[in-house]
Amino acid sequence: QDAGRRPADMFPFKELKKEPDCHLQLDTLFPSPCHTVLIDTDQFQRGRLVPYKGHHVWDSNHVKLPLLNLKTSMDSRWSVVQKSLKKLSSGGSKVRDVQMAINSYNQKHSMEWPFDALYSYVTDVQKKENNFSLVISKMAQLALELPDLIKHPIPLLKQNHSHAITLSQVQISCLLANAFFCTFPHRNTMKHGSEYANFPTINFSRLFGDASRRKTQKLRAIFHYFNTVTGKDTKPDGLVTFERICIALPDLPQWKRQTETLTNLHVSPQGTIEEEGAGMLQVDFACKFVGGGVLGAGLVQEEIRFLMNPELIVARLFTEKLADNECLKITGIQRYSVSYGYSDTFEWQGPYVDNTKRDEWKRRYCQIVAIDALSFKDPREQYTKENIRRELNKAYVGFRRNPNTPADYTPAIATGNWGCGAFNGDPKLKALIQMMAAAVAQRDLAYFTFGNKEQALEVQKMYKYLKNNSITVGKLYQILNDYCKHFSQHPRQPRGLYEYVTEAAGVHTSQL
Ligand code: AR6
């Protein structure tokens, strides 16, 4: 960064803690009641990746795989899937064959699922990039490996329970190939009250319809991923962990009593969470249904991240909608693509060769945390005590350190205008909220304002003032609550937030 234009007292970026430099050696990988490992850990210690064995179950606590369908005749769905995918795996398939295959075991939806986006992708770009029928045949073979690769039930990460799942990148690729071919049973209806209404969609059907430029770009990223994971020399060979973290309400901070002052902050208009935030805990500006519109039309921060790192998409298979006191942390994902632009200008640019080192569990040093901000139809709604507390708690759940890891071994947080795009939040308020949560979690922050230089200067100035005056989180919380009162009394012409905070903090300091 250009030191000449750096706001005064900026915490040096280089000094923020990052993995692997701050890494604390992990214990041996082993399953436990709160950690399901889908590979055999004994074999793993000997350097082999072998699926962990078990008995598949068909119940409300586990992913329903297409392999079993005890309600009707045994294996009936899988035998149709097998027959259809075997045809595709033999090569020479066109989009119409893919459509027929998918419809063969989703007959109820065959009239309502359009495939125009897939047709248009093939016509527009596919011929130039890779051979459609060849990729489809490799993907079909991968999907057919499901019974060999997934031998243990996959728990659903349900609300109110902290639980982690570790699986191999190959297992993920196989589950995603099944998602692409829409083989997962009971996952096509999102209607209120339906079995999986509280879960994100996982079958890719929505990606194939409503052709648009966005869909074509998404499909380029998705096909590139499948082409890579089915390549002889490019097949990934690591592990990934998905951890749902739930903090019970009594264990959340008592905000007005918190005595911490702010931790170190580096604000920058340049850079992005995924690039400059490498090695830090990277915030995913999530939807409570993780992945948001990645399989539909959405194409902002979360969706772009899921397309560049498609292993994230598998979280949708097992992660129930996040509650206010929950987050999802993902460790070890790989990046496959490079993109350009944002939203309507988004474009898949090409392959990315990820050389990120791996930890003792063969997971890449890349950790993401999905936290969903509140979505405000009317931005004025955010200045209430309840909404501010909700956002503080949510940020804290995402930022909290592993209780067994000392602060010195915990990376900083890479974040930015969380909740301030599609969700209409106020970046000034969200920056303060995240600084407060980071202070209680005892972690430093890298804050990327995504090109906004003015915001970067304002945030830095506000931070410096609070820090220099040793304003505690509890005091700041009280000031924010006072601002909410002020706001409700002057909803049309409230005072600027930072101006108000500066003044209130100044009065407080002078009274000390
Ligand atoms: N690095 C840093 N900042 C970024 C980046 C990046 N890579 N990308 C965007 N920003 P938004 P939200 C900034 O709208 O409001 C999705 O559909 C940029 O200034 O993605 O929390 C989810 O699934 C942008 O305006 O987050 C949810 O449903 C701002 O961050 C919903 O959107 C907010 O990005 C979440 O919306």
| Phi, psi dihedrals of residue 301, rounded to the nearest 5° | -50, -50
Pairwise CA distance, residues 280 & 443, whole Å? 10
The whole-angstrom distance between residue 116's C-alpha and the CA centroid of its chain comes to 28
Q: In the predicted model, what is the mean pLDDT of the chain?
A: 95
Label residue 451 exposed, middle or buried (CB < 10 Å: 0-12, 13-18, 19+).
Answer: exposed
- Report how far residue 213's alpha carbon sits from residue 436's, in angstroms, rounded to the nearest whole number: 40
Residue in 268, 295, 299, 300 to alter for ligand 1 test, most ligand atoms within 8 A of Cβ:
300
- Does the annotation mark 284 as catalytic? yes
What pTM, to 2 d.p., does this model score? 0.96
The predicted structure's pLDDT at residue 3: 41
ipTM: 0.99
Q: Give me ligand 1 centre to Cα 372, in Å.
A: 10
For residue 436, the model assigns a pLDDT of 98
Cα distances (angstroms) measured from residue 305 to each of 40, 49, 261, 504: 30, 27, 32, 39
DSSP 452-506: -HHHHHHHHHHHHHHHHTT-BHHHHHHHHHHHHHHHHHSSSSPPPHHHHHHHHHH
Name the active-site residue from 243, 303, 311, 426: 303
Task: Give the model confidence (pLDDT) of 359-389 as tens digits.
Answer: 999 999 999 999 999 999 999 999 999 999 9
Does the active-site annotation cover 112? no
CB neighbour list of residue 223: distance below 8 Å, 6 or more residues apart: 121, 126, 129, 130, 135
Distance CA 420, CA 125 (A): 33
Instruction: Check 19, 243, 276, 302 and give the catalytic one.
Output: 302
Among 46-50, 66-70, 327-331, 398-402, where is mean pLDDT lowest? 66-70
Give the count of alpha carbons within 13 A of 506, CB side only.
8
| Å from CA of 417 to ligand 1 middle | 7
Task: Give 282 Cα–ligand 1 centroid separation in angstroms.
Answer: 13
State the maximum Cα–Cα separation within the chain, in Å, rounded to a whole number. Answer: 79
Higher pLDDT, 158 or 77: 158
Residue 72 has pLDDT above 90, yes or no: no
273 lines ligand 1 (CB under 6 A): yes
Nearest CA to 477 out of 439, 426, 420 is that of 439
Residue 73 scores a pLDDT above 80: no
At 507 the pLDDT is 82
Q: Whose CA is nearest to atom 23 of ligand 1?
A: 292
Instruction: Say how many Å lie between the CA of residue 286 and the centre of ligand 1.
Output: 8
- Asked if the model's pLDDT at residue 192 lies above 80, the reply is yes
- Strand-pairing partners, residue 96, are none
* pLDDT above 70 (res 326): yes
Q: CB of 196 within 8 A of CB of 326?
A: no
Dist CA 445 CA 402 (whole Å): 17
Q: Is the CB of 417 under 6 A from ligand 1?
A: yes
**Cβ neighbours for 130, distance < 8 A, ≥ 6 positions apart:** 223, 224, 227
Ligand 1 binding pocket includes 292 (Cβ within 6 Å)? yes
The answer to whether the CB of 277 is under 6 A from ligand 1 is no
448 lines ligand 1 (CB under 6 A): yes
Q: 308 CB under 6 A from ligand 1?
A: no
Q: CA-CA distance, 66 to 51, in Å (whole number)?
A: 18
**Minimal-distance CA residue to ligand 1 atom 12:** 419
Q: How many angstroms separate the alpha carbon of residue 78 from the centre of ligand 1?
A: 39
CB-CB contact of 201 with 190 (8 Å): yes
Distance 416 CA to ligand 1 centre (A): 8
Q: Which of 243, 276, 284, 444 is catalytic?
A: 284
Do the Cβ atoms of 155 and 162 come closer than 8 Å?
no
Work out the percent of the chain whose per-residue pLDDT is above 70.
96
pLDDT tens for each residue of 247-287: 999 999 999 999 999 999 999 999 999 999 999 999 999 99
For residue 197, which of 181, 206, 208, 186 has the smallest C-alpha distance?
186
Question: Quick one: pLDDT at residue 1?
Answer: 41
CA-closest residue to ligand 1 atom 2: 272
pLDDT digits 0-9 by tens, 244-256: 999 999 999 999 9
- Where is mean pLDDT largest: 130-134, 390-394, 502-506? 390-394
State pLDDT tens for residues 422-458.
999 999 999 999 999 999 999 999 999 999 999 999 9
Contacts of residue 343, defined as CB under 8 A and 6 or more positions apart, other chains included, come to: 299, 300
